[in-house]
Structure formats: structure tokens, C-alpha cells
Amino acid sequence: MATGILGKKIGMTRIFTEDGRWIDVTLVQAGPCIVVQRKKKESDGYEAVQLGFEEIKPKRCKKPLLGHFEKYGVPPMRILREFRIESESDLKPGDEVKVDIFKIGDRVDIAGVSKGRGFAGVVKRHGYSGGPNTHGSNFHRRPGSIGQSAWPAEVYKGKGLPGHMGNVRVTVQNLEVVDVVPEKNLLVVRGSIPGANGGIVEIKHSVKIERK
């Protein structure tokens, strides 16, 4: 069995529990994914499957990659990702991986690319408090002093400064699977996940807890 699947973030909503409470959830179109390549320890040094998500027309695929798909007899796919698997797994090229690899109550880790916010200052990017807002202070949303004098005369690595905010890979761990709808390839997880609506995400069984 595959340990993960590719999906597309649909958006957030809320659902009501049996005791009348409502919880925030995120809807994800999880799969179906096609196994493109099966990697084995004997030939590749590790056990994994390469999954493809969202079929595309051959003319939209670059020729070297098109040859890769033709080699394994699968249609061209827009997204390719690798997922580690157990050595005894019987997955092979052409097999489908669907959302039913998860069940209600499972814990999952979801990785995606966060929303890009462009160039941002230290108040927005790092949560700095800024300076006084009174007239004449000339220090409102600036970073303030960032280094030392004659020694060591440098700015330490990791100092929070203005710069590009967002648009980085983010993983949210240990999210609870609230519902699984196989006929619609739908996965419902509690809480929020990285990225904008329509963004591609990787969903894996959580590494923080022991799976049954």
C-alpha cells in the first residue's frame, strides 16, 4: 500500500458534529494517482513509487518526460512526486492509488507551497512591534538596529529582516482525517493546510504517531 497521495486543495468550510459543535475543515481532492515508476532497493537503493496526478495531453509534455511515461506505459501526468513504501508492496506502473488508503480517524501530514506575499517588512513578515506612532519619531515600521559596532561588526545569520514573504514549502503535521468520500475522491481534514485554493499538496500518513 502507498503511504501517501497527491491532491488539490479545494478550500475550507465547517461541519457540525453529532453533539452540535462545529469544526473548521479543509476539503482536498486526493487522487486518483497513477503509479508511473516503481523504484526498488536492488536497482535504485531504496523502495518508493513515483505517482502522477492530473493527466495531460501528450503535446503539453516535454519530449524527454514523454519518453519516461511511454517507457512505463502510462499517460502523461502534470505532477510527479515520489513516496516511500514498504519493500513488500505489490504496487506496479499503471496501478491506481486512491483516497481510500486513508480512513476516518487517521493522522496525516500535508505539505504544500504557502501563499506568496511579495516583499514584506519586518512588522508583517516577522511580527515586530515597530516603534512609536507619534509625530516626529521617524521610527514606525522599521527594523531598528541590526548589528554591532567595531566587534564583531557583522549581522548574525537568521536575523529577521525585510524580504520575500511566503512561497515556500510548508508541512503541517498530525492533522485528523474527519471524513473520506471515495466516490468523489474527497478527503476532509480538520484544520488548515498550506497554500491557496487549487494548490497541489502531498498527503502522507503522519510520522509522529504509530500507525495501526
Does 155 fall in a domain?
Answer: no
Does 12 fall in a domain?
Answer: yes
Number of domains in the chain: 1
Q: Coil, helix or strand for 125?
A: helix
Does 8 fall in a domain?
Answer: yes
Q: What is the distance in angstroms between the CA of the first residue and the CA of the last residue of the chain?
A: 14
The pLDDT value recorded for residue 212 is 47
pLDDT of 64 higher than 80: yes
Does 211 fall in a domain?
Answer: no
pTM metric for this prediction: 0.81
Query: Does residue 27 contact residue 110 with C-beta atoms inside 8 Å?
Result: no
pLDDT digits (tens, 9 = 90+) for 171-190: 999 999 998 998 899 999 99
Does 77 fall in a domain?
Answer: yes
Q: What is the mean pLDDT of the chain?
A: 88
Query: Does residue 65 contact residue 72 with C-beta atoms inside 8 Å?
Result: no
Q: Which residues pair with 28 in a beta bridge?
A: 9, 187
Does 41 fall in a domain?
Answer: yes
Structural domain for 63, as ranges: 4-115+168-205
Does 79 fall in a domain?
Answer: yes
CA–CA separation, 85 and 90 (whole Å): 10
Domain containing 22 — which CATH number?
2.40.30.10
Does 139 fall in a domain?
Answer: no
CA distances from 26 to 60, 113, 192 (A): 31, 16, 6
